[in-house]
Structure 1
Amino acid sequence: MTESDESACEPVKRPPNEYRQWLIAAEQKAQDDFDKAVLSLSGGALGISFVFVKDIVGPDAIVEPVLLLLSWVGWGLSSLAILSSYFFSHLALRRAIRQCDDGSIYSNTPGGIFARITGNLNALGAVLFVVGVCFMAFFIYVNLSSREKQHVRQEAIHSTKPATHSSATPPTIRKAQ
């Protein structure tokens, strides 16, 4: 924290109106950072999941692809919610400016319905991001479990097969590399 940040945190040394303005600016910056973080995480998770699905599943068939689809839908809707919140935030600020100009800012909610929509979209974006993470985690778990079970079955089949070698064809011996 810089010295100016520390002094801004002390309402006793600053006039109340100036301190209030600092709090509003700090809240707006925190909300902006939150929006950017959720948008980056959702977009990044969506992109990374496309790349790593082939590594998770490998050459085997995808088990429960609906889980993968639901994670992608969650992250896509999360990004859409955050992008929409930017738009509604802009509308809320315009409304608040008009309210300041006509004096109704003190009798009405600043930003009106657009401010409430913005807050709801921000929360929805965060929730949908977490939903996408949960579906992806479950998808990974199901597919890795399926892969493990398949390998166990293959090992069981190979270990229970009797070794039948005719005298005409000796077993193949591999050299250690």
Structure 2
Amino acid sequence: MPNHKRTLADNSDEHLKTLIDHRVVLVNFQSEQYRTFDKSILTVSGGALALSIAFSDKFGGQNPQISGWLLGAWAAFGIAIFISIASYLSASADLNKAIDEVDAEIRGEADELPSGNVFKNVTKGLNIAALLLFLIGVGGPIQHARVVGGDYDVNEEVEQPNTEREGPS
């Protein structure tokens, strides 16, 4: 079977309009992608990391200290942030490749539209990894508080300091 590339003349007006519409959808999706999952993970992981560092002395009840659980959570949040940035770049490369493929089809230089590329699978994997690391990061401070805080009972009555003033009798 001969390898025949379609030319622009081979595309019907309807097919060409469909390709152009598809390209518009891809470009719009690309713009939206920049503001979705990766931004969410970056924002939430960054905020959780900052809060857990800022309030690290409050975790663990009456015995505040830094544990492996807390350090692990900070590492998980940091890696989730890094992976989210990598995922953002991979998603951008995926969409650029898809747009290039549609452009080639519009120009008649492609036989058919491919269903995807390696960047799509890399992006999916990175997004899953970032989400899992975020969840691990959330669990770390909780486990830290349980381990370091021991059997601290939040319902236990705390002795209140005497606020009455003693004056001259």
Name the TM tier (shorter chain).
0.5 to 0.7
Q: Which runs of 5+ in 1 are unaligned?
A: 1-15, 153-173
Corresponding residue number in structure 2 for 1:42: 45
User: Which TM-score applies when normalising by structure 1?
Assistant: 0.61
1:131-165 deviation line (CA, Å, top 9, x unaligned): 1111221011212226x39xx9xxxxxxxxxxxxx
Higher relative contact order (CA 8 A, sep 6+): 2
Deviates more, 1:122-131 or 1:101-110: 101-110
Q: CA RMSD in A?
A: 3.4
1:140 maps to which of 124, 135, 145:
145
1:122 aligns with 2:127: yes
User: Could you tell me how far apart the structure 1 residues matched to 2:27 and 2:96 are?
Assistant: 16
User: Could you tell me how far apart the structure 1 residues matched to 2:28 and 2:60 are?
Assistant: 47
Report the CA distance between 1:93 and its aligned residue.
1.8
Q: Which runs of 5+ in 2 are unaligned?
A: 1-17, 157-161
Corresponding residue number in structure 1 for 2:93: 91
SS in 1 for 2:35: helix
User: Could you tell me how far apart the structure 2 residues matched to 1:106 and 1:32 are?
Assistant: 30
* C-alpha contact 1:39 1:82 (8 A) present in aligned 2: yes
SS in 2 for 1:32: coil
* C-alpha contact 1:75 1:128 (8 A) present in aligned 2: yes
1:67 aligns with 2:73: no
> Going by fraction, where is helix more abundant, 1 or 2?
1
| Cα gap change, 1:55 to 1:61, in 2 (>3 Å) | closer
Report the CA distance between 1:84 and its aligned residue.
0.6
Corresponding residue number in structure 2 for 1:52: 55
Corresponding residue number in structure 2 for 1:77: 79
* C-alpha contact 1:96 1:105 (8 A) present in aligned 2: no
Report the CA distance between 1:105 and its aligned residue.
8.4
User: Could you tell me how far apart the structure 1 residues matched to 2:124 and 2:50 are?
Assistant: 26
* C-alpha contact 1:43 1:75 (8 A) present in aligned 2: yes
SS in 2 for 1:123: helix
1:36-58 deviation line (CA, Å, top 9, x unaligned): 22111100000111110112247
1:2-45 deviation line (CA, Å, top 9, x unaligned): xxxxxxxxxxxxxx9979x7699579737832222211110000
* C-alpha contact 1:38 1:125 (8 A) present in aligned 2: yes
Give the number of aligned pairs.
138
Show structure 1 runs of 4+ deviating over 4 A: 16-19, 21-28
Corresponding residue number in structure 1 for 2:6: none
User: Which TM-score applies when normalising by structure 2?
Assistant: 0.64
* C-alpha contact 1:89 1:114 (8 A) present in aligned 2: yes
1:108 aligns with 2:110: no
Percent identity between the aligned chains?
24
User: Could you tell me how far apart the structure 2 residues matched to 1:106 and 1:61 are?
Assistant: 62
Corresponding residue number in structure 1 for 2:35: 32
User: Could you tell me how far apart the structure 2 residues matched to 1:25 and 1:102 are?
Assistant: 19
